[in-house]
């Protein structure tokens, strides 16, 4: 914490990140227990990279002491400003060798740790796991339509097939940038189908927020859209990132338990559809065992047996996108 001189006034500014700056990265748990040999090798490697007893002309000393080490970024900036002010037409000089040493690993450390690095490579063999690709819906349906077009080679069939392909391509070809409340499932699947981006975490968080908003603003009507959103989120995340759905489900149940008399029907459809936590039996990446998943589903809303029937009435407020779900 910053120190404050006595008998003085100050304004302390602390810059906080926005919610949009948060990045939640989910990693599957490591299904392994290191052996004694592996632990010993890693311990030796860490000791070999010790900076507290680096050999110098005056004996062992601490390397990169924070009180004696300059910030290379600041030094480079200051050097560039001075160079431009005094010699505006000359190219920028290289960074001072003393400062450049701060950003490069010590040759002594690299040489000392090389045998240990080779040992670690042998004890911890790594292999590349190919990422499961997702095909966009337009690719799947487009192939089927192409086959139908070849089978029905009549005079009018080509025009009809081309028209169908054109409409589907237009629908799926529109650039989707986020999951909206009007067509959340379609938006979510479109983002997951993007060939050059990995949108699973971001798109899943956006769909989760849409579901929460749906529950918060729900008054009456069918819950089919709610079930479809939850089911889609579960199906798309349970294989690689089940923690995304499990965290969302815990959040949803807390919300339902805040007002069980009004929201118990949501939990009822979750129980009926078996849409509870993803267990380790369903996904090897899940850290929830079967007993915990079953307990979570059975301990739902305390008012689950006293739900008001869901009707098919439509609200009169046309400005809310959820009415179109």
Digit-coded pLDDT (tens) for 182-191: 889 998 888 8
Inter-axis angle of helices 242-258 and 260-272, to 10 degrees? 150
Query: How far apart are the C-alpha atoms of 124 and 230, rounded to whole Å?
Result: 39
Lowest mean pLDDT among 108-122, 208-222, 223-237, 288-302: 288-302
Query: How far apart are the C-alpha atoms of 24 and 285, rounded to whole Å?
Result: 16
Give the pLDDT score at 54: 86
Contacts (Cβ under 8 Å, ≥6 apart) of 170: none
Rg of the chain over Cα atoms, rounded to whole angstroms, equals 30
Give the pLDDT score at 321: 53
Query: How far apart are the C-alpha atoms of 43 and 116, rounded to whole Å?
Result: 10
- Stronger pLDDT, 199 or 62, i.e. the higher one: 62
Cβ(241)–Cβ(26) under 8 Å? yes
Give the pLDDT score at 44: 94
Q: Is the pLDDT of residue 155 over 70?
A: no
């Amino acid at each position: 914490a910053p120190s404050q001189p006595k008998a003085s006034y100050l304004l302390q500014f602390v810059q906080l990140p926005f919610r949009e700056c948060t990045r939640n990265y989910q990693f599957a748990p490591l299904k392994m227990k290191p052996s004694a040999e592996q632990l010993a090798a890693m311990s030796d490697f860490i000791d070999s990279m010790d900076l507290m007893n680096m050999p110098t002309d005056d004996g062992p000393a601490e390397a990169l002491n924070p009180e004696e080490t300059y910030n290379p970024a600041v030094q480079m900036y200051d050097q560039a400003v001075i160079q431009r002010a005094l010699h505006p037409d000359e190219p920028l000089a290289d960074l001072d060798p003393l400062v450049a040493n701060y950003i490069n690993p010590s040759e002594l450390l690299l040489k000392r740790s090389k045998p240990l690095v080779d040992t670690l490579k042998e004890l911890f063999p790594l292999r590349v796991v190919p990422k499961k690709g997702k095909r966009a819906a337009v690719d799947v349906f487009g192939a089927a339509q192409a086959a139908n077009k070849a089978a029905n080679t009549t005079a009018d069939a080509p025009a009809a097939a081309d028209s169908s392909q054109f409409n589907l391509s237009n629908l799926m070809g529109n650039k989707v940038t986020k999951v909206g409340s009007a067509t959340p499932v379609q938006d979510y699947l479109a983002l997951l189908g993007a060939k050059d981006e990995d949108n699973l975490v971001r798109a899943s968080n956006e769909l989760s927020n849409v579901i929460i908003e749906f529950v918060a603003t729900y008054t009456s009507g069918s819950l089919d859209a709610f079930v479809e959103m939850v089911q889609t989120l579960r199906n798309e995340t349970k294989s690689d990132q089940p923690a995304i759905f499990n965290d969302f489900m815990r959040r949803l149940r807390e919300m339902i338990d805040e007002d069980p008399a009004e929201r118990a029907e949501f939990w009822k459809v979750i129980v009926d559809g078996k849409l509870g936590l993803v267990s380790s039996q369903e996904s090897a990446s899940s850290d929830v065992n079967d007993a915990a998943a079953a307990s979570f589903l059975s301990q739902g809303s305390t008012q689950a047996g006293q739900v008001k029937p869901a009707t098919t009435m439509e609200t009169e407020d046309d400005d809310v996108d959820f009415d179109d779900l």
